[in-house]
């Protein structure tokens, strides 16, 4: 009987969105509540201009991801992203712009963004080569 009720509770918790935050970090499985999911996607859209769609910045062939290109965020570990963002925020990590960005975020938002980008799949995106215009004007 105990097993059956535990199973029902588990099932109910999976289908009840209001319980998602409670089961959030359990056993390494993470799920955002619908409100959190909308919020983190909105925040992540502001990172896309530089870090690419879903954190997949375009990286020049053979280029160094941290110098010539904006850093790729997709698929990095949550701990890595979290520690970088926190150290930008407290000024211990040198930055050209990220110290400003991270100061505009709450600790909860930083936590959600680190989780979000760690869950994105890494996709190699090479920039398109410049278009050659060879129109003939007669
Ligand atoms: C205007 C461009 C720009 C935007 C927008 C931006 N970043 Fe950055 N980001 C950078 C640059 C450039 C660096 C390299 C550090 C520096 O110079 O500030 C960086 C570095 C980082 C790093 C450290 C990566 C590493 O490997 O060292 C993380 C994590 C990061 N950004 C997360 C974010 C998140 C999350 C957002 C959105 C809230 C965001 N960035 C928005 C340009 C940007």
Distance CA 74, CA 68 (A): 18
CA distance 98 to 79: 17
Q: Which residue has the higher pLDDT, 110 or 64?
A: 110
Residue 79 · residue 66 · CB < 8 Å:
no
Ligand 1 within 6 A of CB of 40 = no
Residue 60: its pLDDT value, please? Answer: 76
Q: Which ligand 1 atom is at minimum distance from the Cα of 102?
A: 38
Residue with the nearest Cα to atom 31 of ligand 1? 98
Tokens 């970088």 -> residue = 84
Cα(33) to centroid(ligand 1), Å? 25
Backbone angles phi, psi at 128, to 5 degrees: -70, 145
pLDDT digits (tens, 9 = 90+) for 29-80: 578 999 999 999 999 999 999 999 999 998 876 655 556 778 999 999 999 9
Gap between the Cα atoms of 54 and 126, Å rounded: 15
Q: How far apart are CA 124 and CA 58, in angstroms?
A: 7
Q: Tell me, using a 6 A CB cutoff, whether residue 57 lines ligand 1.
A: no
């Amino acid at each position: 009987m105990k097993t059956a009720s535990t199973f029902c509770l588990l099932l109910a918790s999976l289908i009840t969105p209001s319980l998602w935050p409670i089961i959030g970090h359990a056993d390494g499985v993470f799920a955002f509540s619908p409100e959190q999911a909308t919020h983190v996607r909105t925040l992540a859209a502001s990172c896309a201009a530089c870090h690419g769609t879903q954190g997949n910045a375009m990286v020049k062939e053979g280029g160094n991801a941290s110098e010539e290109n904006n850093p790729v965020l997709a698929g990095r570990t949550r701990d890595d992203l979290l520690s970088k963002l926190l150290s930008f925020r407290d000024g211990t990590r040198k930055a050209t712009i990220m110290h400003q960005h991270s100061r505009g975020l709450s600790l909860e938002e930083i936590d959600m963004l680190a989780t979000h980008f760690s869950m994105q799949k890494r996709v190699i995106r090479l920039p398109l080569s410049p278009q050659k215009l060879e129109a003939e004007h007669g």
